[in-house]
């Protein structure tokens, strides 16, 4: 415990043959605990950290939720959003910059995962490829709007994380998108 220097919001208990950690902690501390868990496992000890939750500074929660509610939509087969998405990108860029600044003030770093998605039209390899291209395009457009590219991570999910089931035109168009996930470190 001394080497981990846990925050007050974290409790340790011993259950049978393992140490269980519960509570909330900043992501950076959880990362340190994860490394310690792996090191202890090599020595035959078990440090259970699955009950830990990431502590989000309260002043960042509202903006984080607003950002994660935004999706950038695309036309079928396109990796560049249509002109109707530009105001959405402008607003998103401003929110990302504001959250990055507020996070620094709170002593954490905000990182933004841009996940590209596709509908079920076409071959699986093409769907993964276009979903990644959509995420890269949004990254470039946000960078152009002043968002620090170091804070923007990208990944393509293809059809594996649909917003809606695809038994309608609405389902298909809802799945052609880039979503944003906010993490604090």
What pLDDT is stored for residue 117 in this prediction? 92
Q: Which residues pair with 114 in a beta bridge?
A: 154, 180
Highest-scoring range by mean pLDDT, 4-18, 37-51, 85-99, 153-167 = 85-99
Q: Please state the pTM of the whole predicted model.
A: 0.69
Please give the Cα distance from 115 to 131 (Å, whole number): 8
34 conformational bin, left if phi > 0, alpha if psi -120 to 50, beta if neither: alpha
Residue range 129-151: average pLDDT? Answer: 97
Containing 141, the helix (H) or strand (E) segment is helix 124-144
What pLDDT was estimated at residue 141? 98
Q: Tens digit of pLDDT for each residue in 35-91?
A: 888 888 888 888 888 888 877 777 788 899 999 999 999 998 899 999 999 999 999
Res 171 pLDDT > 60? no
Report CA-CA distances (Å) from 33 to 4, 7, 21, 84, 183: 7, 12, 9, 45, 17
């Amino acid at each position: 415990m001394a080497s981990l220097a846990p925050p007050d919001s974290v409790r340790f208990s011993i259950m049978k043959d393992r140490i269980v950690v519960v509570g909330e902690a900043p992501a950076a501390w959880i990362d340190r605990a994860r490394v310690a868990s792996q090191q202890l496992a090599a020595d035959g000890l078990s440090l259970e950290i699955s009950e830990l939750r990431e502590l989000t500074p309260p002043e960042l929660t509202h903006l984080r939720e607003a950002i994660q509610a935004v999706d950038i939509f695309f036309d079928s087969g396109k990796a560049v959003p249509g002109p109707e998405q530009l105001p959405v990108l402008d607003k998103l860029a401003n929110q990302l910059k504001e959250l990055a600044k507020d996070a620094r003030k709170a002593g954490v770093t905000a990182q933004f995962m841009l996940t590209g998605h596709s509908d079920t039209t076409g071959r699986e390899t093409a769907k993964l490829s276009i979903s990644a291209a959509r995420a890269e395009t949004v990254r470039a457009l946000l960078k152009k709007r002043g968002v620090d590219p170091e804070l923007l991570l990208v990944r393509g999910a293809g059809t594996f994380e649909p917003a809606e089931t695809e038994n309608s035109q609405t389902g298909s168009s809802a799945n052609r998108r880039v979503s944003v996930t906010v993490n604090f470190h």
